[in-house]
Each structure stands twice: as C-alpha cells, then as structure tokens.
Structure 1
Amino acid sequence: MMLEDEHEGNGSLVGKSQQYLGEKQQANGKPVTNGKGEDSVKQEANGKCDMSRKILTMYSWQEIQRHNQEADQWLVINRKVYDVTDWAKRHPGGHRVLNHYAGEDATDVFRAMHLKLDIVKLYLEPLLIGELAPEEPSQERNKNPQLVEDFQELRRTLEAMNMFKANWMFFFLHLAQILILETLAWLMVQSFFLQHDSGHLSVFTNSKWNHLMQKFLMSHLKGLSAKWWNNQHFQHHVKTNIYPKDPDIDVGPLFLVGDLQPVKYGKKKIKFIDYEKQHLYFYMVGIPLLVPLYFNIKSIQLMYLQRCWEDIAWVSSFYIRHFIMLGPFYGIFGTILLIYGVKFLESAWMIYVTQMSHIPMKMSREENRDWFSTQVLATCNIEQSFFNDWFTGHVNFQIEHHLFPTMPRHNYHKVAPLVRSLCAKHGLPYVSKPMLEAFGDIVRALKKSAALWRDAYYET
C-alpha cells in the first residue's frame, strides 16, 4: 500500500511551529490528512520552500516490530519509519544505541538525545522508507498515549522557556577551576561532570568545538577514551536500568544487582564468588577499582580493537603530560602511584554520586515503556542543597537529567517542579532522598539482591 507524501524544504523534521518535532496533529494524536495522507512540514530556507514529493509505504506496528534484529533494524520517529540497519554502524553514540530501539517508537528518546535537529535531519532523510498507516496509533498500543502527549507538551513548554540554552559562564568557571587546580597542584581529581556534559553536547550538536572539548576533558585530563565513554554512557541513557541493554547494571559476575540477575544466577547454580557478601566487597573492590582498573581496561580494549588512533593520541598526551611534570620530582614509579592514587579517590566519589540514583531503583528486562515512565522509575533525585548541588555537580537531579540529557545541569532545579507535577498527574513515583539515605540504599539494595541469589541458589 503506497502513500503520496508532500514535504517542503529538504525533508526537515522540524518546522517553525512548536508542534513536537514539527508534526501537525489532531486532538486524537494522529496526523492531519486530506484523504491522501499528506503530511506538511514547514521550513524556511532563504525565504523560499522547494517542494519535493516522495512515495512512502504505509506500515503497521506488527510489521515494524518484526525488524528488531541487529541485521534488520527499523524504528519510528514522529510516525515516520526509518531503516537504520546500515547507519547504526556509523552512529556517533555506538551501534547498540539504535539497536536498543529497533522495532519500536523512538520519537521521545530521539528528541531527548539530539539537541540540534536541523543537523540530524540530514542523516535521517536518506533512511526514510515509509510511515505508519493512518489507522495505526503514534506509539505502540501498550503505551499510555495521554502520558506521552503530556510529556511532549512539557518538553515544548521547557523549550519555550529556553531551559535547553546553556549558560556558558557556568561551564567556563568550572573549567577555569580545573585548570587553576591543575596549575597550582599539578595533580587533581579531574572534573567528571564537566566532561560528562561535554560528552552529551559533542555528540548531540555535532559541534567540532564541543567534540574537541570532550576529547580534551575526557582523554587529556582524565586519560580515558572519549569514544568508549560515549558508547557506554549513551546506552545507559536510552535504556536506563534495562537488563542487559544498560551496561551499567550488567556487572556480573562480580556483582548481582536488581531482582532478575540474582535469581538467574541462583537458579543456574552460578557462584563465581560468595554473593551473599557482595555488599561488603563493594567497599573493598567496587569503590576503589572501578575507575583505575575497570574503566581503564575497557577504554584500552576499545581503542585497541577499534583502532581509535585519535583517542590513543589524546590518552597518550595524558600520560606524557604527567610524566613530564611529575617525573622529575617523583620518578616513573612514583608518578604512576600518584596518577592512580588520584583515580582511586575519584572512583569512590564517582560511584557514590552515580550509583545512589540507580542501583536502588527499578531494574527490569525490556518492557517497552514510554520514555517518561522508563526514566522516572529507573532514577531518583537527591534533595537539593548548596552542598548536594556542589558535591554532585548538580546531577543530584538525576530524574531531570535522564528525561532531558541535553539540558544544561544548572537548569535542573527549575524544571524539577514541572516534572514532579506530571508524575503526580499520572500516579508515578517521584523519588527524592537525603544524600546519606541514598548512600545507604546502595548497600541495602546489594544485600537484597544477595538474598535473592541465596534463596534461588539453595532452593532444592
């Protein structure tokens, strides 16, 4: 079945109106049609609009959901169907990110993870193969259409409030602080969250300057591959606490987290170590070794296997810089100890700041929930205070950070009341804890998972 589709401009997904992704919709959420299934998208290009016509095939959700394998990946954005099979290998966030949404509606995650749509549209246009049939809903039938529409309306409101506009002085001052400490002390715990923000911006805006800044912060200042970080971190964002798609919770055989993984290991009688004591060796192994050992091994592995020469050069500059500055004073062995001593301190801080908002929360296999529910159920906030904001780098607002990854973190506290209100409207929990309680919840969650493994393991 074929559909004649009219576009203006070069196929932009974004118009001048405030409709979500530029789509003109009726009250029932379906595109406005004239009997031929026309979908008009407005775009201004030198004051004129060139008309192009495409013949698009109409698809049902049943057909789209069959294309969910690595060798055959379709996804839906704004009712348009895209074949991303070949593009996935070149995706800046890694091929797994797209595969995690193969066969699904990706409208909200696409909008959340891409800041500059006028750039992304250039990559989308050649991948367009069709659109949803008029009788099909905009999302899969198991999703709550009212919640999806309410969240999209919230995003439009935040865009109108300029909540996605960065205050560059905020980030400049953070960078200046790092460079001053570097100059004065020659050794420091580098800023994890500044490179974290730069990582989101570099990929999502396709800015060469942001890309260069992330290489400088992640690779030159921290000694880790920026590409490895992007591949890992974006999977975590698009499928938060979804096993095994989120690499941050796929930490077996060292730790078993959540409710599913411990039972799986227990029933299969898997006991690499005594998981009943995992909350104890979390302190002895997990906290001190995550950054200096695990992160570095994974970073080196990716650079070597994928021949990431640019990252290898940047990471090499990290070690060259330290040996030039510190070598004359401490020698080679002493310099290595200092480098990894700093990483040891950074590791403890980073684990607490990141894991207190995720490990105690819901972990599940793929349930194909809407974007808003997925992020709210998998994350929690830490109560706002001057110390909490400073200590965590403002990502004590993890719920807002996960809903709007491209939003500058200095705006999270402004957005939080609106997100809390939407949660209350739809009966979703909006969890905000004191910091010390959140620290303790990491251990309590690990003990709970250990008990589940024990019961399954010794079950006769």
Structure 2
Amino acid sequence: MVIPRTIDRGSDFARLAQRISDAGLLDRRPVYYAVRISLTALFYLGCWAAFVWVGDSWLQLLVAVGLAVAFGQFGFIGHDLGHRQVFRRRRPSDVAGLIIGNLGIGLGWGWWTHKHNRHHANPNHEDHDPDVSPAVIVWSTDQVARSTGLPRFIAKYQAFWFFPLLTLEAWHLHIASFKALLDPSAKRRTPELALLLVHAVLYFGLVFAVLPWDKALVFLLVHQGLFGIYLGSTFAPNHKGMPVLTKDDKLDFLRKQVLTSRNVRGGVLTDVALGQLNYQIEHHLFPSMPAPNLRRAQPIVQRYCAEIGVDYLQTGLIESYGQALRHLHEVGAALR
C-alpha cells in the first residue's frame, strides 16, 4: 500500500459523516449495552463462583481460561465507555469505567483511556502513537536502527517472540496503571488508586485463600498470561503490519484513519470474540459510534472509499496475524 505524502481533503470525511448520520448509526444503543453489560457481569461473577466451588484442584486452570475471557470482555466494555459509546454524558461513563476497569479487572481506566485516545489521534505514527513507540517490540526500520539493548536483541526475531511476549502484557498493564497513578497530577488519583488496591487485595486474597501456593501461582500465570494474549490478539490485527507514518506524512483525517487500519472479516462469533474491534476502520473514523452499529456502517464506508479511490483493507483473522508477523520479521531483517 502506497501512502501519499501530502493530502488535504477534509471535505471527504464530511460527506461520509453525513451518510453515516443519515443512516442513524451514531444513535446510542442503551438496550444493547444494558444486555451486554449484564451478561458479561454474570459471566464474570459465574467464573468466580466456579473458582470457589472447584476449590483445591488443578481443574482451576479451566476456570482461569474462562476468567481470562471474562476479563477481556470487560476490557472491551471499558473501551466502549472510554469512547462515550455507552453514555452521552461524561460522569456515568467515568463511574462505570472505573468500576469495570479499576475494580473489575485491575487496569487503570483513566490512564488507559488517555493513552488510547492519543493512539486514535495519530494511529501508527511513530512519533505520536504510544502503541507503536519502541519498547520491547520495534515497528519500523528507523526504530530498529535506533534500538539498543533488549529491544535490539528481540527485534532480530521479534515475529517469533510476539505471542510469547503477550503473556506478559496483562502484567505490564497492571504495573503501568499503578505507575501512572503515582504521579501527583494524575486525574482522579485517589479513587482510581483505591479501586486498584481493592481489586488487588480481593484478587490475590481469594486466589491464595482457596488454593495452596503452588496451584495459586500456576493459576495466576495462566489467567494473566491468557488475559494478555487475548487482549493482544484482539488489538494486533487492527494496525500491526499497516503503514507506519512519520512527520513527513501529511494526510487528512479520513486517509490517516483508513490507510493505517485493517478490518477483519467474520460473523457474529468473530464480532463477539474481538469486541467488534474487527471493524477497526469504521471505529477509527467514528470512535463514538456504538459498537453494534459498526457492522452496518462497514459497507457504507467501504463503498465510499471505493468512490474516492482510498485503499480499504479487509482480511480474514488468520491472514491479519500473518500480515502483522511478516511485517515484524521484515522490520528486523537488517539485524539478521
């Protein structure tokens, strides 16, 4: 895919936005979210009830799998709350986000929402998108050239390291949440930190109260490892392997969002498993659009992109991973 260096055609997005608005796809879906949140909460609580019922048994590893899915589904709801898809007003979004994010799954909702909004503003921009800032994984040949230490060592064969490293992603998010709240200027610092601490006490307290230390440690590793893989596997198909932008790329809003995003084809099961983030192009163009409306918006956006000559990429799930991993391998080629 060739990225034009400079394009300024903001009216293209305005025309698309009018079509989307006329179709009623920006309207809130309160009944949908009431049902979705209720079912997810029941699944979450049911997994913890099963944990207590199973007791001292290696069968708890199956419970860990279910809890990883429950935590991931709560994460998707937290994501929608952060984009104001559920409530129009800020306060109910913040309250629900803190309960689900900080208390429910132990992730700093405020910190993550701020970070994620920076990603939306400049997707796949190596200077402004925190999701492609060089850390352990590097995303462009320029980042490889500047890398040192562990990132440089990993980059050589980072496509092979990618999924194993995702087992640490949940731990990374937990630690980053606490670190962000150590800053005295952090917004809602006291309630966010209090809820994170309550989650940690209840989570570790229950695990070690029900299980002996050896089973408890394995349970924690499996649960948090699968939670990290689940989160990473749902976000990786969206942008990884797509063009990485630099300061030389001056694109209008529509092209900046469409050309750096990838959709994943699938049915209802794919939608549920990926939190409907498989409609990534539509989500990036209209981040406040309720998730169930993204499927209906997809053909409208695809047709419009064809009309104005903008590349629109949609693949299957396995192929999306293949594209992302091939990109990572190609980026590290110079080190091999």
TM-score, normalized by length of structure 2?
Answer: 0.83
When the two structures are aligned, how many residues end up with a matched partner? 306
Within 5 Å, which residues of 2 pair with 1:184-263? 184-186=46-48, 188-189=67-68, 190=71, 191=73, 192-201=75-84, 205-252=88-135, 254-263=136-145
Partner of 2:174: 296
2:171 is aligned with 1:280:
no
Within 5 Å, which residues of 2 pair with 1:127-206? 142-145=6-9, 148-186=10-48, 188-189=67-68, 190=71, 191=73, 192-201=75-84, 205-206=88-89
Q: What is the CA–CA distance in structure 2 between the aligned matches of 1:211 and 1:202, rounded to whole Å? A: 12
Q: Percent identity?
A: 21
How far apart are residue 406 of structure 1 and its match? Answer: 0.3
Partner of 2:58: none
| Cα 1:193–1:158 shift into 2, 3 Å | same
- 1:144 corresponds to which letter in structure 2? D
Q: What is the CA–CA distance in structure 2 between the aligned matches of 1:310 and 1:443, rounded to whole Å? A: 39
Is contact 2:125–2:245 with CA below 8 Å preserved after alignment? yes
- 1:314 corresponds to which letter in structure 2? L
Q: What is the CA–CA distance in structure 1 between the aligned matches of 2:250 and 2:43, rounded to whole Å? A: 45
- 2:271 corresponds to which letter in structure 1? D
- Provide the secondary structure at the position in 1 that maps to 2:137: coil
Is contact 1:375–1:402 with CA below 8 Å preserved after alignment? yes
Partner of 1:90: none
Is contact 1:358–1:379 with CA below 8 Å preserved after alignment? yes
Q: What is the CA–CA distance in structure 1 between the aligned matches of 2:34 and 2:213, rounded to whole Å? A: 33
- Provide the secondary structure at the position in 2 that maps to 1:406: coil
| Cα 1:441–1:416 shift into 2, 3 Å | same
RMSD: 2.5
Residue 183 of structure 2, aligned match among 302, 305, 312: 305
Between 1:329-338 and 1:431-440, the stretch displaced more is 329-338
Is contact 1:397–1:412 with CA below 8 Å preserved after alignment? yes
Greater helix share, structure number: 2
How far apart are residue 177 of structure 1 and its match? Answer: 2.1
How far apart are residue 256 of structure 1 and its match? Answer: 1.5
Partner of 1:363: 244
Residue 325 of structure 2, aligned match among 429, 438, 443: 443
How far apart are residue 327 of structure 1 and its match? Answer: 4.3
Is contact 2:168–2:228 with CA below 8 Å preserved after alignment? yes
Q: What is the CA–CA distance in structure 1 between the aligned matches of 2:12 and 2:88, rounded to whole Å? A: 26
Q: What is the CA–CA distance in structure 2 between the aligned matches of 1:357 and 1:177, rounded to whole Å? A: 26
Q: After superposition, what is the alpha-carbon deviation per residue over 1:176-230, rounded to whole angstroms, capped at 9, x for unaligned?
A: 2222123322062212211110111189944311110000111111101112101
Is contact 1:258–1:359 with CA below 8 Å preserved after alignment? no
Q: What is the CA–CA distance in structure 2 between the aligned matches of 1:427 and 1:167, rounded to whole Å? A: 32
Is contact 1:240–1:374 with CA below 8 Å preserved after alignment? yes
| Cα 1:233–1:332 shift into 2, 3 Å | farther
- 1:289 corresponds to which letter in structure 2? L
- Provide the secondary structure at the position in 2 that maps to 1:273: helix
Is contact 2:12–2:254 with CA below 8 Å preserved after alignment? no
- 1:407 corresponds to which letter in structure 2? M
Is contact 2:263–2:314 with CA below 8 Å preserved after alignment? yes
Q: What is the CA–CA distance in structure 1 between the aligned matches of 2:31 and 2:157, rounded to whole Å? A: 46
Q: What is the CA–CA distance in structure 2 between the aligned matches of 1:361 and 1:204, rounded to whole Å? A: 32
Is contact 2:30–2:86 with CA below 8 Å preserved after alignment? no
Q: After superposition, what is the alpha-carbon deviation per residue over 1:398-434, rounded to whole angstroms, capped at 9, x for unaligned?
A: 0001111000110111111121122112221110001
Partner of 1:428: 310
Partner of 2:61: none
Higher relative contact order (CA 8 A, sep 6+): 2
| Cα 1:415–1:361 shift into 2, 3 Å | same
Residue 419 of structure 1, aligned match among 301, 325, 328: 301
Is contact 1:379–1:399 with CA below 8 Å preserved after alignment? yes
Is contact 1:275–1:450 with CA below 8 Å preserved after alignment? yes
| Cα 1:333–1:175 shift into 2, 3 Å | farther
Is contact 2:7–2:251 with CA below 8 Å preserved after alignment? yes
- 1:221 corresponds to which letter in structure 2? G
Is contact 1:220–1:315 with CA below 8 Å preserved after alignment? yes
2:299 is aligned with 1:405:
no
Q: Structure 2, unaligned stretches of length 5 or more?
A: 1-5, 52-66
Q: What is the CA–CA distance in structure 2 between the aligned matches of 1:332 and 1:206, rounded to whole Å? A: 45
Is contact 2:123–2:257 with CA below 8 Å preserved after alignment? yes
Partner of 1:123: none
Is contact 1:202–1:211 with CA below 8 Å preserved after alignment? no
TM-score, normalized by length of structure 1?
Answer: 0.62
Is contact 1:202–1:208 with CA below 8 Å preserved after alignment? no
How far apart are residue 323 of structure 1 and its match? Answer: 4.5
| Cα 1:270–1:300 shift into 2, 3 Å | closer
| Cα 1:269–1:325 shift into 2, 3 Å | closer
Partner of 1:41: none
Q: What is the CA–CA distance in structure 1 between the aligned matches of 2:107 and 2:313, rounded to whole Å? A: 32
